[in-house]
Structure 1
Amino acid sequence: MSTAAPVPATTPDTPLGERLVPGAAGALAAYAVVVVVHLVAHLADAEAVANATQWFAVPWLLLALVVQTGLRSRLSRFAAGGLMWSWLGDTAPDLVPESVAFIVLMASFLVAHVLFVAGFWPWRRESLLRSRWAWGYGALAVVMVVVCAPRAGALTLGIAGYAAALALMASLSAGVHRLAGVGGALFLVSDGLIAVDEFVPSVAVPLPGFWVMATYLSAVLLLTLGVVRRLGSRA
């Protein structure tokens, strides 16, 4: 009779332990400091400080993920790719002409969402894909496209593809861990605020920069922590 423990079908990646290693904890602490400074800068209308700190936020999350996981698993590698392209979405628009900055931003985050989807896909049966929440996320994606379409013009098809990828990522994220699920929902909120601010000038979002970044930076943090918790879970 074999005494080998069965391999759980829903956890294909190797457990890494529940506790954060010191380097990862330090990187998360640095992330928290940068985020606080960034959000305070938005409230204080310190645009230069807000722009500078936006460049240096997500790399701390990426460092924490690398140090904690060593990128030894499929999930951690795809999550790291999602964070890398999110960081490009934070920085690359500042380096291109203003006329194409929004397209570069949208393209960068589209790749990020696709990578997150690929990483989260093995846990689709534990996710929200078969729940009413998935219909809600899908409805929000449709609303986002409808709201943007009158002013988006040729970008409408691109926005439709982006919204679909975003809704799928948000639905799948809950299968990884409940923290990641909240992160996916916040990502949907953040991008919805961007859509309204960019394409619906008749709706005045109070402190749009602050709320967009507060929800986005919370989203990527929770996605990262959810990935770490999933990899640290034990059957």
Structure 2
Amino acid sequence: MRRPRSRAALTAIAFAPFGVISLVHLGLKLADLVDADRATKGWTVPALMLGVVIVLWAGRLSLRTSVLAPLIAALTLSWLGDMTLPFFLVGLGFFLAAHVAYIVVFHVAFRRRPSWWAIGLVPWFAGLLLALWPYLGDLVLPVAVYGLVLAYMAASASRGNAFTTIGGALFVASDSLLAFRMFTPLFQTPPEDVLIMSLYLAAQLCITLGVLRTAVPRARRQPAAAAA
């Protein structure tokens, strides 16, 4: 089998399974096929992790352990969050931990300062919490803590490249709409659910692609010296 001629071609091939599974999942969600929707949801993030493995292995690329380990941790915790979100506080806890892992990734992999627009996350957080306040009841504190960590993750994502920056912004958009869906009468139809999930999957993909851009070619092993 020939190797793809460029990293872009390899990336397209590696993440094709994620794209196909995501489209199938979104189609089932749009059709409001609840059982099939739940069954395919569990395959989306694992397919994304498969793409990471293929890019690194087939492309002979390497990510520093200090970057790769928290990236895999973030994706694994996101998958656990997907699976346990019906148990709200459990799922919220997994996603909170996933965002902390992403924050570690962005601070280790990149050296730039956060973009100036990250200051806009302050009024976003205040406005979101104010809008949700009448519906949250005893969940005000965990939702507020989650929102703060999410905002810091998105700001940290802007330390990287265009992919990570867009991914962080998409995560904020997805979780904001999801909060209204979970706590208010808004965004309850299948098309709106598809929009929320599309933003989430795109966020995960963009962040993953952005981090993979820091991968470097693996050093080739030197042949053993010929015996004297």
TM-score, normalised via structure 1 length: 0.79
Deviations for 1:111-164, whole angstroms, at most 9, x for unmatched residues? 000110111124363322xx1x11212221222222222221221111111101
Structure 1 match to 2:222: none
Of 26, 31, 37, which residue of structure 2 is paired with 1:50? 37
Structure 2 match to 1:90: 82
Question: How far apart in 2 are the matches of 1:224 and 1:106?
Answer: 21
* Pairing of 1:17-28 with structure 2 (within 5 A): 19=7, 26-28=13-15
Of 121, 136, 145, which residue of structure 1 is paired with 2:107? 121
**Given the alignment of the two structures, is residue 195 of structure 1 paired with residue 179 of structure 2, yes or no?**
yes
Deviations for 1:168-198, whole angstroms, at most 9, x for unmatched residues? 1111112221111101100000000111111
Question: How far apart in 2 are the matches of 1:126 and 1:178?
Answer: 14
Task: Give identity over the alignment, percent.
Answer: 34
Stretch of structure 1 that moved more, 208-217 or 25-34: 25-34
Counterpart code for 2:211: V
Which has the larger Rg? Answer: 2
Question: How far apart in 2 are the matches of 1:32 and 1:204?
Answer: 24
Deviation at 1:91, TM superposition (A): 1.1
Question: How far apart in 2 are the matches of 1:208 and 1:124?
Answer: 37
* Pairing of 1:195-234 with structure 2 (within 5 A): 195-201=179-185, 203-204=186-187, 206=189, 207-232=191-216
Question: How far apart in 2 are the matches of 1:104 and 1:160?
Answer: 16
Aligned length, in residue pairs: 205
Deviation at 1:70, TM superposition (A): 5.7
Query: For 2:7, what is the secondary structure of its paired residue?
Result: coil
Structure 2 match to 1:107: 93
Structure 2 unaligned residues grouped into runs of 5+:
1-5, 218-228
Counterpart code for 1:192: S
Structure 2 match to 1:180: 164
Structure 1 match to 2:3: none
**Given the alignment of the two structures, is residue 38 of structure 1 paired with residue 25 of structure 2, yes or no?**
yes
Distance change (3 Å), C-alpha of 1:205 and 1:137: farther
Question: How far apart in 2 are the matches of 1:66 and 1:74?
Answer: 16
Asked if 1 retains the 8 angstrom alpha-carbon contact of 2:106 and 2:160, the reply is yes
Asked if 2 retains the 8 angstrom alpha-carbon contact of 1:145 and 1:160, the reply is yes
**Given the alignment of the two structures, is residue 66 of structure 1 paired with residue 53 of structure 2, yes or no?**
yes
Of 61, 64, 68, which residue of structure 2 is paired with 1:76? 68
Deviation at 1:21, TM superposition (A): 8.7
Deviation at 1:104, TM superposition (A): 1.4
Asked if 2 retains the 8 angstrom alpha-carbon contact of 1:65 and 1:76, the reply is no
Asked if 1 retains the 8 angstrom alpha-carbon contact of 2:18 and 2:51, the reply is no
TM-score, normalised via structure 2 length: 0.81
Deviation at 1:72, TM superposition (A): 3.8
Distance change (3 Å), C-alpha of 1:149 and 1:232: farther
Deviation at 1:63, TM superposition (A): 2.1
